[in-house]
Amino acid sequence: MSAKAVERLETRPSDAAIQWVDLGERAYPIVIGRGLLAQAGALFEAHAPAKRVAVVTDANVAPLHLSSLETGLKRAGIRTVPIIVPSGESTKDFHHLQTLLEALLENGIERGDVVAALGGGVVGDLAGCAAGLLRRGVRFVQVPTSLLAQVDSSVGGKTGINTRQGKNLVGVFHQPALVLADIDTLETLSDREFRAGYAEVVKYGLINNAAFFKWLEERGGALRGNADDLIHAITVSCASKADIVAADERESGARALLNLGHTFGHALEAHYGFDGTLIHGEAVSIGMAQAFRYSRLQGFCNQDDVERVTHHLASVGLPTRISHINGERPAADGLLRHIRQDKKVRDGALTFILTRGIGEAFIAHDVDAETVERFLEKECDTGTTHGRTD
Ligand code: GLY
């Protein structure tokens, strides 16, 4: 972090880590620490000249954290307009986007104000999209309350909604002015949600940081009970994402690396229909293990790395195989159909994120669809529902 960048942050709370996303004039800090909601006023002040913040949150998060954020903002004389949307992936649609935009307009939210997203990835994506569209763009602050949102979706400016045609197909790039990741909010997550977010933490080690993966092997299983380690893991994850986003904001190249495990994972999510059978981070965990197994099959990486990855994911209770999902088995051709819908297919070739080993992910543009289908046939047939060590 440069000295100039530190100056841009007017208030630096103690006991917090700060990671900048260096996008020139649009650079912004990710502040990671404890008790940050209570200090929100000081952190938001510079971004809210009209001293008003529309806080978009959902029905699950509102009773847990809304009043802490509002109290924190009031300490700096900032008024709040709370807008509560239903929780769940189905809120990311045209109907709720329209309702939210109309609520923001009816409350007179304009360019001197801030739209803040308090919640997980759904709230962040929906509120960010609304902030990017409202009056052609108003200031936006992310206050992520899930581990998944703190290490991934709140950083990088991707916003959007789902349509009948697929996930995140309508949206805008709209970078936040600030990301405020208060780890105290993670205490209310279920173990399952926390684990699912942890899959995205592991992803950063697997993409380009073998030393971080090793650290996670040693300490990742106990993150929940150790605030310093948790702040470290979130900071390293955000630093990795910040570097990739700064180099390729609009995903014309390296940003695609962040999709490691997501092509296989999205196909599984689409198959199970977002009904809670398989949540995003779990799908990513299986998808990452599959990306390693597929890379091994193609001779790109060695078996030791495949085993280290699957062993670590399994050791924290994450699924690594289709057979670990508590639901009926999908068919390979159905999964491939989802993959083809998700991706541009050129002359029968697909783009996947593959790997030469832990910390050595790469973008492969020429993956043969038939080979993937044969691989998926085996994946759909393999394993039992007992044990998660393979
Ligand atoms: N979650 C992937 C990205 O932000 O590019």
**Cα 366 to Cα 59: distance, rounded to the nearest angstrom:** 44
pLDDT for 2 beyond 50: no
Please determine, for residue 8, whether its predicted confidence score (pLDDT) is greater than 60: no
Decide the pairing of beta strands 52-58 and 139-144.
unpaired
According to DSSP, residue 62 is labeled I
| Given the residues 47, 139, 262, 338, the one annotated as active site | 262
Cβ atoms 48, 30 nearer than 8 A: no
Looking at 162, 208, 209, 259, which residue is catalytic?
259
CA of 153 relative to ligand 1 center, distance in Å: 6
Query: pLDDT tens for residues 159-195?
Result: 999 988 778 889 999 999 999 999 999 999 999 999 9
Question: Alpha-carbon distance 270 to 253, whole Å?
Answer: 25
Q: Give the chain's domains with CATH numbers.
A: 3-188 (3.40.50.1970), 206-381 (1.20.1090.10)
pTM: 0.93
Nearest to 202 by CA among 212, 189, 192: 212
Our answer on whether the CB atom of 262 is closer than 6 Å to any ligand 1 atom is no
Interval between CA 32 and ligand 1 midpoint (Å) = 19
Whether the CB of 156 sits within 6 Å of ligand 1: yes
Q: How much is the mean pLDDT over the chain?
A: 92
Mean of pLDDT values over 282-294: 98
Six-digit token string for 163: 């349509």
At 278, phi and psi to the nearest 5? -140, 120
Asked if 266 is an active-site residue, the reply is yes
Q: Mean per-residue pLDDT for 187-214? A: 98
Say what the pLDDT of residue 142 is.
98
pLDDT tens, 336-357? 998 887 665 666 689 999 999 9
Report how far apart, in Å, the C-alpha atoms of 108 and of each of 93, 103, 191, 305, 385 are.
23, 9, 39, 54, 54
pLDDT at 59 over 70: yes
Residue 9 burial (C-beta neighbours within 10 Å; 0-12, 13-18, 19+): middle
Residue 115 near residue 81 (C-beta atoms within 8 A): no
Please give the residue that has the higher pLDDT: either 9 or 379.
379
Q: What is the largest CA-CA distance in the chain?
A: 61
| From 45, 251, 307, 373, the catalytic residue | 251
